[in-house]
Amino acid sequence: MDSEEVKASEEEKTTREETAEETEKQAEHAEGTETEEENVSEKKGFFGKKKKDKKDTQIEDLTDKLRRQMAEFDNFRKRTEKEKSGMFEMGAKSVVEKLLPVVDNFERGLASVPEDQKEDPFVAGVDKVYKQLLTVFDELGVKPIEAVGQPFDPNFHNAVMHVEDDEQGENVVIEEFQKGYMYHDSVVRHSMVKVAN
């Protein structure tokens, strides 16, 4: 082969390589436009509406989960606060319940003092301590239940005696044997009463 033939064959070879590269590029370009068209067709659904991308769907799912978790945590926080206040109420109620016999003993002791000894300094001191205890009860929200002259209510009164009395109305409390007390809206101890029939 002479030099001209070699030169011609090399040129032919280069031309073939260039056309092969060009064909390859065109194929890649065509492939790229097909995938773009597929992406566009994926995003657009029937009647030209856009379909959600996988990422968008996943973001919405995660956002929804986050919102649910936040709501659940908020409900949990409210529930625990309610339980805490309920436990405090129960604890305070049990302390008040244990102090009520002390109040009863003060009342019995002061009721048994004869009239001529009411001015005695010791009796006056005991009376002041009793009044101070009632003031503290009042500040805490502990109130005595009104009983005498009120209609009988089983939610507040405990009937231990029934008496036939025409002067009193039917189911009216005529005597109180033991005071009942309420702590806020709940009964700590029912009043022990005598009821007219």
pLDDT (0 to 100) of residue 76: 94
- Strand 142-144 relative to strand 157-163, pairing: unpaired
The answer to whether 157 touches 173, Cβ cutoff 8 Å, is yes
pLDDT tens for each residue of 87-112:
888 888 889 999 999 999 999 999 99
- Domains of the chain (ranges, CATH numbers): 141-197 (2.30.22.10)
Q: Where are the alpha helices (DSSP H) in 121-182?
A: 121-140
Q: Which residues of the chain have pLDDT under 70?
A: 1-51
pLDDT (0 to 100) of residue 119: 86
pLDDT tens for each residue of 170-181:
788 888 899 999
Q: Which residues contact 100 (CB under 8 A, 6 or more apart)?
A: 181, 188, 189
Rounded CA separation 17/35 (Å): 27
Tokens 């064909």 found at: 23
